[in-house]
Structure 1
Amino acid sequence: MTTRVDKKPGTTKRMLWMIGGVLLLIALIVGIKVLLVMRMIHSMPQPAPSTVSTTTARERPWQPALSAVGTLRAANGADLAMDVAGLVTAVNLKSGQDVKQGQVLLQMRDGDDVAQLHQLEAAAQLSQLTFERARKQLAAQAISKADYDTAAADLKGKQAAVAQQKVVVAKKQLRAPFTGRAGIITTSPGDYLSAGAMVVTVQQLDPLLVDFYVPQSELGRLQVGQTVNLKLDAYAGRRFSGKLSAINPKVDLGTRNVQVEATVPNHDKALTPGMFAKVSVDVGHEQRQLTLPQAAIVYNPYGDTVYVVQPSKGKDDKGRPLPATVKQTFVTLGETRGDQVEIVKGIKAGTVVVTSGQIKLKNDAPIVIDNRVQPADSANPAPQEH
C-alpha cells in the first residue's frame, strides 16, 4: 500500500509538465502566426491617396430673395373681331406690324351705310336751319312756343339719327384699341367675315406684366416697389429687371398661395406675352453670408456634411511629408442661390473643404489636391453651349 501512495505524486507532476508544454507550444505557434500577420500587414502597400479638388469657404454679399415661376402677359392685349358681318374691302395691316391707337386695320364694304349717313346729315342740316328760323321768329313773337319746341325736338331727333348712323358706319371698320404689335392676320380683301369672328390679336409689349404666386407664409416679406429679376430660357445670358406692382388682397383657398404682379420694361420688344419666366424678388437688405458650392455638400438622411481638409502632419519613414487628410463635419444649410448654398453652422470662414471626389473618402483618408478643374460656383449661373 505504501508503494502505491508514493508513486501517485510522480504521475501528477508528469501530467502538469505535459499540460504546460502543450500550452507553451500553442502560445509559441500563436505568437509566430501573429508575428507573420503583422509582418504581412506592414509589408502591404498603403492605399494611394484619393485625388480631390478643394475650395475655401468665404463670406460673400448675399441678397435675400424669394423664388417663383411666372407667366408674362401684356399690359393691354385683345383678340379683335368685327361687331357685324360683311365683305372685306381693304386690309391695312401686315402680320407682326406695330400699330397706333385708332389706326384702321380692316375695312368692310359700307357704301350703303355711308349714303344713308349723308342723307341723314342733309336732313339734320335742314332741321338746323328750321330751328334757327323758329328761334328768331319766337324772339319776334311771330310763332308760338309750341312751334319752337317742335322745331327743337325735330333737330335733336335728326342729330341723334346722324350719330346712330355714324356708329353703324364705324362698325364696318376695325381699329386698334391701343398702341401695340399686331399678330398674324390671314384675312384678305374679298373675304366674308361673320360677326364675332376673330381677325387679329394686338398686344401692348412695353411694359409687360408677369404673374406669379408665393406661399402665404412669405406675404409679410413682400412690398410693392421691390426689385424683381427674371430669367428666361430663350435668353440664357440675359437678366430682366422690373418692379413689384401689385399683390392680390385675397389668398387662394385651394393652394394657400397669393398672386403677385410685377411690371417689367420691354423697350426692345424682346419679351413676348405667354412666356415662362423664373422670378426672383429681392426682399430685405443685402447681407454677408458664408457660402460654399453646392457640389461640396454630401447630402445624407442623417445630416448634411462636408469633408474638411486637415494639413499634413509629420513625415514617413523615408522622411517624406505625409499627405493631407480629411475629416467629415456636419453643417447646417440655409438658402441656395444659383450654384451656391449658405452655410449657417458647422464651419468657419477660411476652412478648406473638398468639392469633388467625396464618394471615395472617409475620416482620416489621405488625399492629393488637384484644383485644375473646379465645380460651378456662380450666384447667377447661365447655361453654356460647347
Structure 2
Amino acid sequence: MSQSGKTAKRMVIMLIIVLVIFAGLFGWGMLRSFFIEKFLKSFANQVQTVATIKAQETPWQPLVKSVGSLTAINGASLSAEVAGIVDTINFQSGQDVEKGDVLLTLRPNNDPAVLAQLEAQARLDAITYTRDQKQFAVDAVSKAQLDTDRANLDAANAQVAAQKALMAEKVVRAPFSGRLGIRQVDLGEYLQPGTAIVTLEQLDPLFVDFYLPQQEVARLHVGQVVDVGVDADPGQIYKAKITAIGATVDSSTRSIAVRAILHNPSLQLRPGMFTTVSVETGAPQEAVTLPQTAISYNSYGDTVYLVMHGKDAEGHEALSAKQVFVTLGATRGDQVQVLTGVKPGEEVVTAGQVKLHNGSPVAVNNSIQPSNNPNPNPPNE
C-alpha cells in the first residue's frame, strides 16, 4: 500500500474514534439530563412533612432594649488626708458600717500634748480676759488692754480648733452607711496622703446606667418603669424607675445616657454588674406574631410558607405550600412581629420549609413544635 493510502486510513480511523467519543459524550449527557429531570420531578411531587401554626394576634408591648451597668449611689475609695503610720484598724473586709464609724487611725505622735498645751493657754487667756473685764468696769484697766485680752483669747481658741482639726485628719471615718471592700493596708504601715485604705459602697439603692438610641428620646420620661436583668440572677427581673435623662446626645454613638434607680434590699446585687434593660415605650397593641423559625431570611426579602387547602387530580383534598413575602417588626424572645404578608387565621409553616417551593404538596405533623415563647429562660449551662 502506498504512503498516501496509509495516511488516509489513519485519518479515517482517527475520525471514527472522534465520532465515537462525541457520541458517547452526547449520549451520556442526554442520559444524565434525563435521569436528573426524572429525579427532580419525582422530588417535586413528593409530599413533604411540615409543622405549622395558626397565625393570631397577640398583645404586643413596644419595648426598647439596651445593656448597662449597676452603679452605687454613693461609692468611694477611702484614704487619709495626711501622712502617718497606721495605729489602729477598726474594721473587717466586707463589713457593713454606719455613717461616722471610725475605720482607721494614724499614730498621733505628740498631737495630744500639743493640744493640751494650747488648751491650757486658752484657759489662761480666758481667765485674764474675765479679770480685766471686772477691772475695766471700775476703770482699773484701759479699753485697749481689754481688747488685747479678747484678741489673745480668740487666737488661743483658734489654735485649739486647728490642732483638733489636724488630729481629726488622722482618723478615717465612714462618710456614709454601706459595705466595705477588701482592706488594702496593714498595722504599722506608713501611708502617704491619698493612699487607698478600703472601698465603701452603698448597696441599696443602686443606679442603673445605660444608653438608648436618640430616636427614643421623645418616648422617655422620668418615672418610667425599667425591667432590669442581671447574669448573676438569671430569670429574675428587677423593677427600676428612670430618675434622669442625659441633656445631650453622644455625637459619636448618637445615643443618650439614661439613669434609673433600683432598690436592692437583699444586697445581692453589686455595683459594676452587667445588666440587660427593657423600657416600655408605648401602649400595648395587637400584632400578628410567629415563631422566628417560620421566617426564611433572604437578601431579596423575608418569606414564609402558607399552607393552602385544595383538591388533587382525583378530587381528594390536598395541601400545598405557598411562598409569600412578609414585612417584619420587632422581636421578643422566640417570637417576631409580622407587619404585612400574613393575616390572622392563616396556617404558617414553622418547620420543614427548607424542603419546600411554591406548590409543593405537604402533610402536616404538629407533634413537635419549635419554641414560641415571648420570654424564654433557657438553662444557664
Query: What's the TM-score once normalised by structure 2's chain length?
Result: 0.83
CA contact (8 A) 1:236 1:383 kept: no
Q: Is 1:89 aligned to residue 87 of structure 2? A: yes
Contact residue 294 and residue 348 of structure 2 kept, 8 A: yes
* Counterpart-to-counterpart distance in 2, 1:95 and 1:355: 55
Match in the other structure for 1:355: 350
Bigger Cα displacement from structure 2, 224-233 vs 106-115:
106-115
Q: Does 1:327 align with 2:325?
A: no
Q: Matched residues in 2 for 1:153 and 1:236: separation?
A: 69
Partner of 2:171: 173
Runs of 5+ unmatched residues, structure 2: 1-34
| Worse-superposed segment, 240-249 or 57-66 | 57-66
Q: What SS does the corresponding residue of 2:236 show, helix, strand or coil?
A: strand
CA 1:111–1:53 in 2, change beyond 3 Å: closer, same or farther?
same
Tell me the matched-pair count: 344
Alignment of 1:48-127 (within 5 A): 48-127=46-125
Task: List alignment gaps of at least 5 residues for structure 1.
Answer: 1-36
Match of 2:369 among 346, 355, 374: 374
Give the 3 Å change call, closer, same or farther, for CA 290–142 of structure 1 in structure 2. farther
1:255 alignment partner in structure 2: 253
* Cα distance change on mapping 1:193 and 1:47 into 2, 3 Å: same
Aligned mates of 1:161, 1:266 — CA distance in 2:
46
Deviation at 1:157, TM superposition (A): 1.0
- Paired with 2:51 and 2:190, the residues of 1 have a C-alpha distance of 71
CA distance in structure 2 between the aligned counterparts of 1:374 and 1:118, rounded to whole angstroms: 85
| Kept after mapping to 2: 8 A contact 1:95/1:185 | yes
Q: State the TM-score, normalized to the length of structure 1.
A: 0.82
- Shift in Å, 1:127: 2.2
Q: What residue number does 1:208 align with?
A: 206
The residue that corresponds to 1:338 in the other structure is 333
The one-letter code matched in structure 1 to 2:80 is: M
> Against the structure 1 CA distance between its residues 115 and 366, is the aligned structure 2 distance closer, same or farther, given a 3 Å change threshold?
farther
Query: Contact 2:44–2:360 (CA<8 Å) still a contact in 1?
Result: no
Match of 2:283 in 1: 285
- Pick closer, same or farther for the CA change 1:232–1:140 going to 2, 3 Å: same
TM-fit CA distance, 1:203 = 0.9
**Contact conserved, 2:45 with 2:360, CA < 8 A, in 1?**
no
Instruction: Determine whether 1:264 maps to 2:262.
Output: yes
Partner AA of 2:72 in structure 1:
A
Q: What is the SS of the residue equivalent to 1:262?
A: strand
Letter aligned with residue 361 of structure 1: L
- Tell me which residue corresponds to 2:30: none
Deviates more, 1:126-135 or 1:323-332: 126-135
1:220: Cα distance to partner? 1.1
SS in 2 for 1:328: strand
Seq. identity, %: 47
Alignment check: 8 A CA contact 2:184 2:196 kept: no
- 1:20 corresponds to: none
Aligned counterparts of 1:47 and 1:97: Cα–Cα separation in 2: 74
**1:150 equivalent in structure 2:** 148
Give the CA deviation at 1:119: 2.2
AA aligned opposite 1:271: L
Residue 177 of structure 1 and its aligned partner are, at CA, apart by 1.0
